[in-house]
Structure 1
């Protein structure tokens, strides 16, 4: 990719429109900024994940776009180039997600990529974000963090993803549905240990709630209070001391094959020895398997 330069508020567009990434409320309608409302009123086209949801927002703020366009994961391959063509023809387009910042865990990132490739100005209109709102109220460190988003569906894929963050020193941020939050917390406990966590739900809404404790305490809480609403999980990262201990561990000078053989010599089945080795090294079991092929 060659170097490009964007001057967002100077007219070097050559007649092209701009792509505006507009933050929408994550719960409370007052999350909406004055600038976001003005931008949506001024843009020719609004592209939305769920047009039914977005119509409610537009109606509330008395916004009537020339065109409300559907753009989501299942139609992005066809809709993306069409939206880019409108912008090239001189239309200003606002992209919104159902809640929060577009292009975070949604197909908006693909549209931004297409716009950048065409030399179109991409202008962020900041606003509410669930992950960062959860982080700053979690009580966990905020100086370094990693946004993971939604974990995969399958258990082995969930564990593999979590293993890849086993030695991450920054706080981890995840999104999860109420139907899967217990499963995800259990996986976190199995892979990362009984770390401190904060569960944030229904952010900026009437029933906003934070539950703070270690993983087991939060699992116990959810047994008594069944999960409701969308969750953001804020998970404690590995401490510098823990990472130093890992790097100075007894197995440090062993090859992966020797590491696995050590556990096999203790009577562990090979599969379990590989899993234990992966845990020691803070990598996925698949990484160990691939190294032994």
Structure 2
């Protein structure tokens, strides 16, 4: 029996699973009886949405947290002796991308377990695709510093790197701090740097727009407050040219 850890994507917006998840991935996710997830309650909500073949109380869910040890994860994965498939899901989007699930995958790799990634939405990659910014050289910076002086230093440093090597900078923030980060970007980036705001991706109120920092300063953007949002920017690259 070949053991497989299935990396199952989870929705990132309020939309029908058929909109963002391929049918084959849905079929597989519905058949799995053991899951590893960050939150058991939201995991059950996901399983209900996709129409699991089993009663929710008959599905085993191991809850992953910052306190979970390697030994615990190894014990969870050892249940492959009883079942050949385990699912790994994130709170939102693709597991193991900007997500603690990567720890589970690494341990599974060391145990010789087959890893099967399934296609699904990632706010990081969807926003990059729609931004028009450089998709061949990019860096995901995660959550930037909260303290204003540290944040300012990071923004300036990342913009310098973006300018030097034509690299798109990508970051995310807790929804209630979106406006603070947006203001800091407008204050600290150069006027001609391109900034993309990608908010509520895959939902009915999805908004993705790329403008220069100068242009953003005249735009009303308070609608991103408390909305899941990705921020991307690309400094004006002097050597960049386009063929006509």
Shift, 1:117, TM fit: 1.6
Stretch deviating more after TM superposition (21-30 or 214-223)? 214-223
What are the equivalent positions in structure 2 for 1:24-173 lying under 5 Å apart? 24-27=10-13, 28-29=15-16, 30-63=19-52, 64=54, 66-75=59-68, 79-87=72-80, 90-165=83-158, 166-168=160-162, 169-173=166-170
- Please report the TM-score for the alignment, with normalisation by the length of structure 1: 0.68
Q: Distance in 2 between matches of 1:217 and 1:74?
A: 44
Larger Rg: 1
Gaps of 5+ in 1: 1-14, 243-293
**Contact kept in structure 2, 1:43 and 1:94, CA below 8 Å:** yes
Q: CA deviation at 1:44?
A: 3.3
Tell me, in whole angstroms, the C-alpha distance in 2 between the residues paired with 1:147 and 1:45: 31
Deviation string, structure 1 residues 2-28 (Cα, Å, up to 9, x no partner)? xxxxxxxxxxxxx45221111122212
TM-score, scaled relative to structure 2: 0.80
- After superposition, the CA RMSD in angstroms is 2.7
**Bigger relative contact order, structure 1 or 2 (CA pairs below 8 A, ≥6 apart):** 2
The C-alpha deviation readout for 1:48-94, integer Å capped at 9, x for no partner, is 22222221221122202631222233435564233222236654211
Deviation at 1:95?
0.3
Aligned residues: 228
Q: Distance in 2 between matches of 1:51 and 1:87?
A: 20
- For residues 149-191 of structure 1, the C-alpha deviation after alignment (integer angstroms, 9 at most, x for no partner) is 2223333443444354322312222222332223223433455
> What is the match of residue 204 of structure 1?
202
C-alpha distance in structure 1 between counterparts of 2:46 and 2:223, whole Å: 31
Aligned equivalents of 1:76, 1:212: Cα separation in 2: 41
Structure 2 spans left out of the alignment, 5+ residues: none
Conserved? CA contact 2:10–2:121, under 8 Å: yes
Asked whether the equivalents of residues 71 and 79 of structure 1 are also in contact (C-alpha less than 8 Å), the reply is no
- Counterpart CA distance in 2 for 1:219 and 1:132 is 26
**Aligned mates of 2:122, 2:224 — CA distance in 1:** 25
In structure 2, C-alpha distance between the alignment counterparts of 1:62 and 1:131, rounded to whole Å:
27
